[in-house]
Structure 1
Amino acid sequence: MDKIFGAFFAGLIKFGTLDVVAANGRRFTVGDGSGKKLAVRFNDRNAQILFMIDPELRFGELFMDGRVEVIEGSLYDVVALASENLMRADPGPSPGGFGWVRLLQEARAALRRLARANDALRARRNVAHHYDLDVRVYELFLDGDMQYSCAYFESDGESLEDAQLAKKRHIAAKLVAGPGASVLDIGSGFGGLANYLARFCGASVTGLTLSKAQFEVSRRRAAALGPLAADFRMLDYREVEGRFDRVVSVGMFEHVGIANYDAYFRKIAQLLNEDGVALVHTIGRAPGPAATNPWIGKYIFPGGYIPSLSEILPAIEQSSLVVTDLEVLRLHYAETLKAWRERFLARREQAKAIYDERFCRMWELYLAGSEAAFRYEGLVVFQVQLAKRLDAVPLTRDYITRAEADLRRREAASTLSEAGE
């Protein structure tokens, strides 16, 4: 058993330095001796067996239950080392741990289209699983505006608050939404983007969410803003009727489900006026299609799926929409997750008081593993701008920069006005 366990880990970690302490106290080292020394400990023999059966699923479960512990370095260091080894491994057949991991990944990828369709009832249940947690948890690590999606870091060292404001500004600029424009925000979260579009663009914004917690927060914040706020509804996008000048969706497409892509983009086309503009901001896979990480799918985002461009674009082509702009935000989400992870760890005891130690372990692994995936496993963010007409937006991208400059002036004027009050 010990020899098999050691050989399995030796196949997993080829680069870096990781000490593994087995349940019987035996300690062995894997990797090439480079980098920071890290160490993990397995607290029972069954944990070792479960880990070897399915590392991607079982490591998270064992860590949550305290059956695996990080004893040197941080949890992020360990999962980042695993992610980096996975990406640097020989793409051909490989022995030991990664050979088995690859087989599991290929099997899951082959079966990914067999997942049940994300119908309206299942969508509500999946949303509630993650987004209807106690709101105080989100307040521990999000920025003041409660933006729970990738920020846009315009410069090194920028604060999370400034980067999240820049994200809203960047999206607003791409929407080219002037005063009075009707905007539908599909998956409006805690309401920050919808309220920004209403306040600084003068748009008439309707925000949709399936999360009861997000809906309540959004309505409360809108009431505080008064007539400049967006209107929020707890409604599935498939139930919406009418036409809009603009449609925006940030961090929601990951929950649509691969079986629903055609219907999703047809619905956007149906909702959009003939001269309208839509923007879909979604996590994506740069290397190509792959299955959802099984631990993430089970414990964090049930029903979630991260698409590649090769899966998104065919659905767009069938919808009568055209892609008028495509931007890939590469390491922006890694930096966002780093900020969230650091903030969460700084307030970990508060999270523990709200839930428990197991929840804290789960959430820390979610943030750490997601950050590592964006740094080493090819996850990015796609911002796909869509229209029905090729002339719906200006011919060059200069309009985005000009619009952002104008929005900065409006933000500054609003800040001065509030300070005067």
Structure 2
Amino acid sequence: MKNQNIKKSIHKLLKFAGITVNGNNPYDIQIKNDRLYRRVIHEPALGLGEAYMDGWWECRALDQFMAKVMCANLAELLRKEWQIKWDLLKSKLFNQQSSRRAFMVGKTHYDIGNELYQGMLDKHMQYTCGYWKDAATLDQAQAAKLELVCRKLKLAPGMKVLELGCGFGGFAHYAATNYGVDVTGYTVSKEQAKFGKELCRGLPVDIRLADYRTATGEYDRVISIGLMEHVGYKNYGTYMKLANRLLRDDGMAFVHTIGSNTSCSACNPWTAKYIFPNGMLPSIAQLGKAMENQFVMEDWHNFGEDYDKTLMAWHENFKQVWPKLKDRYSDRFYRMWEFYLLSSAGGFRSRTMQLWQIVMTKQGTPAPCCRVM
């Protein structure tokens, strides 16, 4: 395909999405290097992201641009057939989220510097969606999210809680301090484990540097807040069976996860390469299938629009703290992180992605009252 034809084709697609190349609107793309066209044709998601990192294009409102692109489903229109087949073939042949590969995301993403996360996140160090229903600030939204989780789970003093994927220990600290529960948390990030242990010093909290699949014991509650995005479609059933096995018969299981409107078996290539190795968003169908014969779904709450607000707040914090961080990171890292945060915000704004909280119980147990939105 000739370069001029590629250029015309992409201009036409962008116009379909309401975007004008080199236009005056904040969401219009400003192209600095015409090699972008062929790069995006060959590798839509990876090419677009890498080209932004390389400074080949700009946009004053990247979040708005990405929301328009996703609403128009331009990536699917551009994707080459061979690339789809290769991504799917890899996912079919290999378990991209196997135990052997579990620590990759910790090293690549979560261990890049606690100073970055402390500057970007809230005081509870929550690296998942806040709950903005009655909140005006990020701190308020994240405190509301933690309280919402605890209330849905009906936590009471003396309960034993297992948190699979405990992050920086923020939930464990909040639940142990405010509800008097004992928390055992698992993380594959050395830096998160180090931070969480210090944060929870003196509390009945045990944070372990280990894959979630190694968890043992018996608990009143088994939860994950932001782990399911790393589990992978080959392992959703494994996760549910593990949670069922570790949960007391009268206990409750809980999942807080980003979700996809469609079932997929391949990772987004840009996100997998630069942000979350082996990351994958589950669908309702995939999670529902994994729950079969394991759990009764008691409540399924979607507040994906709140992740847009959360990501925009993170981006603002990131910009504010960058002068203190720039000596540790490159300008290309800045553009990578900006693309990650703002393109993700666009994904939630376009409703391509959702945020779910799911409460589950074992079969045969009385139904709890967990609807506290």
Match of residue 159 from structure 1: 137
Q: CA deviation at 1:375?
A: 0.9
Q: Quick one: which amino acid aligns to residue 272 of structure 1? A: L
Match of residue 380 from structure 1: 354
RMSD between aligned alpha carbons?
Answer: 2.4
Q: CA deviation at 1:149?
A: 0.4
CA distance in 2, matches of 1:218, 1:37: 39
Match of residue 360 from structure 1: 334
Match of residue 16 from structure 2: 14
Correspondent of 2:148 among 164, 167, 170? 170
Indicate how the Cα distance of structure 1 residues 118 and 293 shifts in structure 2: closer, same or farther if over 3 A, else same. closer
- Residue correspondence of structure 1 range 8-407 to structure 2 within 5 A: 8-20=10-22, 36=26, 38-43=28-33, 45-66=34-55, 68-70=56-58, 73-86=60-73, 99-101=77-79, 107=85, 110-111=88-89, 112-155=91-134, 158-223=136-201, 226=202, 228-289=203-264, 291-318=266-293, 320-394=294-368, 396-397=369-370, 400=372
Instruction: Work out the number of aligned pairs and report it.
Output: 370
Whether the 8 Å CA contact 1:278–1:386 is kept in 2: the answer is yes
CA distance in 2, matches of 1:61, 1:17: 20
CA distance in 2, matches of 1:214, 1:166: 22
Match of residue 415 from structure 1: none
Q: CA deviation at 1:141?
A: 1.1
1:21-47 CA-partner distances (Å, limit 9, x unpaired)? xxxxxxxx6xxx9x656231232x544
Q: Quick one: which amino acid aligns to residue 234 of structure 2? A: A
Q: Quick one: which amino acid aligns to residue 311 of structure 2? A: L
Shift >6 Å, 4+ stretches: none
1:290-334 CA-partner distances (Å, limit 9, x unpaired)? 74322111111111100101001111114x222122111220111
TM (normalized to structure 2)? 0.91
Whether the 8 Å CA contact 1:252–1:282 is kept in 2: the answer is yes
2:279 is paired with a residue of what secondary structure? coil
Indicate how the Cα distance of structure 1 residues 162 and 130 shifts in structure 2: closer, same or farther if over 3 A, else same. same
Whether the 8 Å CA contact 1:210–1:234 is kept in 2: the answer is yes
Whether the 8 Å CA contact 2:257–2:357 is kept in 1: the answer is yes
Indicate how the Cα distance of structure 1 residues 62 and 271 shifts in structure 2: closer, same or farther if over 3 A, else same. same
CA distance in 2, matches of 1:210, 1:192: 16
Whether the 8 Å CA contact 1:208–1:233 is kept in 2: the answer is yes
Q: CA deviation at 1:2?
A: 2.6
Indicate how the Cα distance of structure 1 residues 140 and 288 shifts in structure 2: closer, same or farther if over 3 A, else same. same
- Structure number with higher helix proportion: 1
CA distance in 2, matches of 1:128, 1:358: 19
Q: CA deviation at 1:49?
A: 2.0
Whether the 8 Å CA contact 1:352–1:359 is kept in 2: the answer is no
2:326 is paired with a residue of what secondary structure? helix
Q: CA deviation at 1:287?
A: 4.5
Q: CA deviation at 1:152?
A: 0.8
Structure 1 window deviating more from structure 2 (305-314 vs 376-385): it is 376-385
1:168-198 CA-partner distances (Å, limit 9, x unpaired)? 0011111112110111111110001011111
1:259 is paired with a residue of what secondary structure? coil
Indicate how the Cα distance of structure 1 residues 233 and 290 shifts in structure 2: closer, same or farther if over 3 A, else same. closer
CA distance in 2, matches of 1:131, 1:244: 27
Q: CA deviation at 1:119?
A: 2.0
Q: CA deviation at 1:105?
A: 8.2
Whether the 8 Å CA contact 2:14–2:21 is kept in 1: the answer is no
Whether the 8 Å CA contact 1:254–1:282 is kept in 2: the answer is yes
Whether the 8 Å CA contact 2:297–2:358 is kept in 1: the answer is yes
Indicate how the Cα distance of structure 1 residues 354 and 50 shifts in structure 2: closer, same or farther if over 3 A, else same. same
Indicate how the Cα distance of structure 1 residues 104 and 110 shifts in structure 2: closer, same or farther if over 3 A, else same. same
1:50-105 CA-partner distances (Å, limit 9, x unpaired)? 22212211011111122x121x523333323322332xx7xxxxxxx863338578
2:67 is paired with a residue of what secondary structure? helix
Q: Quick one: which amino acid aligns to residue 280 of structure 1? A: V
Q: Quick one: which amino acid aligns to residue 69 of structure 1? A: W
